[in-house]
Amino acid sequence: MGSTSLFLPTAGAGTAAAATARRHPFFSHRSHSHVPTTRLRREPRFVAVSAAASPASPALSLDALIFDCDGVILESENLHRQAYNDAFAHFGVRCPPASADPLYWDEAFYDELQNRIGGGKPKMRWYFGENGWPSSKIFETPPSTDSDKEKLVDIIQDWKTERYKEIIKSGTVEPRPGVLRLMDEVKGAGIKLAVCSAATKSSVIMCLENLIGLERFNGLDCFLAGDDVKLKKPDPTIYITAAEKLGVESKNCLVVEDSVIGLQAAKGAGMSCIITYTPSTASQDFTDAIATYPDLSNVRLEDLKLLLQKTLVTG
C-alpha cells in the first residue's frame, strides 16, 4: 500500500491525500511498536488502598465528579488528528519549509504528541519550535516575530476547530460506553458534576451539546475549557479552579481522565483520579490512579464512592 492511503479522505482535505506520512525528527529514535491497536485488557485494575481510613483520618465524601472531555466522553484522538491534517493541507503548511508536501501527523506520532502536551496551540508551538516554523499560505516565508508566530497558530487552530465541529456534527460520533448513565446517576444523587477540558471552549461546547445533549450540558455545575486558564494540563490550574467554582474541597473531588497528562493535573490539584483508557493511552503508566477501566460501562456511582472513601489523597 502506498503512503497516500494513510491519509483519511475528508471534505476539505485538498491535496493532502498525496501527503506522505513521515517519521518526525524528535521521535525518530523511539519505537512506536508499543502503541496498541486494540484494547489490551478488559478488567479494571485497582491501585491497592487500605480497607478503611485510619481513625485519625476522616473518611472522604464524593462531593463532585469531574470529567475530562476528549478521550473520556468520546474517543476523539483520531478526529482531532484528522482535523489538524486537513488544516495543514488547507493552508499548505510545510514543515520544514522546503518540504514538498503539507505537514501530516501520523497516528503513532500524534499519540506521542497528545500524551506529552495538552491543548492544540501548545502542540503546534512545541512542534514548530522543535522542527522549524513553517511556510504556508498564511506566511509565504516562515514567521520570525512572536506576533506573526501567534497569528499563524491562531489561524490554523481556528480553522481546525471548525473542521472538528463538522466531523462531530456529522452524526457518526457517539459518547463512550457508560458516560451518560454515570452522569445521570451523579446528578440524581445530588453530587456536583463538571467537565474540564484543555480544548478550546467553542469546540468543547459543540462536542458536549451534540454528545451528551443540551439538558445534561446545561445541568453541569461547572464547565471549564482551555480558554479559561493560562496553563494547560498537566498543570493542575483547571482542576483547582473547578474546585473553587464548585465550592468543594479538592480531596472530595474525583476526576475521570484517559491519559497520564490528565492524571498528573488531577493529582497536582490534590484530587483522586480514575482512568478510562483508550487504545492510544492503554500502555501509559497509571500507577497514581486509584482505578483504571477500559470504559465506564460497568462503573457505578457506588463503586466510585467506595473508592474515594478508601483513599486518602496526598498533595
Using one digit for the tens of pLDDT, what is the confidence trace for 207-249? 999 999 999 999 999 999 999 999 999 999 999 999 999 999 9
User: What's residue 59's pLDDT?
Assistant: 62
User: What's residue 112's pLDDT?
Assistant: 87
CA distances to 98, 127, 135, 144, 275 from 294, rounded to whole Å, are 43, 30, 41, 45, 8
Residue 312 has pLDDT above 90, yes or no: no
**Least trusted range by pLDDT, from 5-9, 90-94, 114-118, 130-134:** 5-9
Residue 19 has pLDDT above 90, yes or no: no
User: What's residue 94's pLDDT?
Assistant: 97
pLDDT top residue among 110 and 48:
110
User: What's residue 47's pLDDT?
Assistant: 44
Domain boundaries, the chain: 64-75+174-312, 77-169
Give the pTM: 0.68
Supply 93's cell numbers: 503548511
pLDDT top residue among 81 and 200:
81
CATH among 3.30.565.10, 3.20.20.140, 3.40.50.2300, 3.40.50.1000 for 64-75+174-312: 3.40.50.1000
**Catalytic: 68?**
yes
Closest of 171, 170, 136 to residue 156, by C-alpha:
136
User: What's residue 54's pLDDT?
Assistant: 42
Marked catalytic residue, from 68, 221, 235, 258: 68
Q: Do the strands 192-196 and 64-67 form a parallel or antiparallel pair, or are they unpaired?
A: parallel
Residue 5 has pLDDT above 90, yes or no: no
Average pLDDT score over the chain: 84
Band the pLDDT of 315: cuts 50, 70, 90: very low
> Which residue has 468520546 as its cell numbers?
74
User: What's residue 58's pLDDT?
Assistant: 57
**Catalytic: 70?**
yes
**Least trusted range by pLDDT, from 52-56, 84-88, 265-269, 301-305:** 52-56
Residue 43 has pLDDT above 60, yes or no: no
User: What's residue 172's pLDDT?
Assistant: 87
Q: In the chain, what's the furthest Cα-to-Cα distance? A: 67
User: What's residue 29's pLDDT?
Assistant: 37
Q: If you average pLDDT over residues 88-97, what whole number do you get?
A: 96
| Radius of gyration, alpha carbons of the chain | 20
CATH class of 77-169: mainly alpha
Q: Under a CB-based contact definition with an 8 Å cutoff, are residues 232 and 259 in contact?
A: no
Q: Under a CB-based contact definition with an 8 Å cutoff, are residues 112 and 105 in contact?
A: no
Closest of 238, 199, 213, 217 to residue 83, by C-alpha:
199
Backbone angles phi, psi at 31, to 5 degrees: -90, 140
Return the ∠ at Cα 236 (arms to 232 and 240), rounded to 5°. Answer: 120
Give the Cα separation of 284 and 264 in Å (integer).
Answer: 12
Residue 109 has pLDDT above 70, yes or no: yes
Return the ∠ at Cα 86 (arms to 69 and 39), rounded to 5°. Answer: 45
User: What's residue 40's pLDDT?
Assistant: 39
Marked catalytic residue, from 63, 70, 235, 258: 70
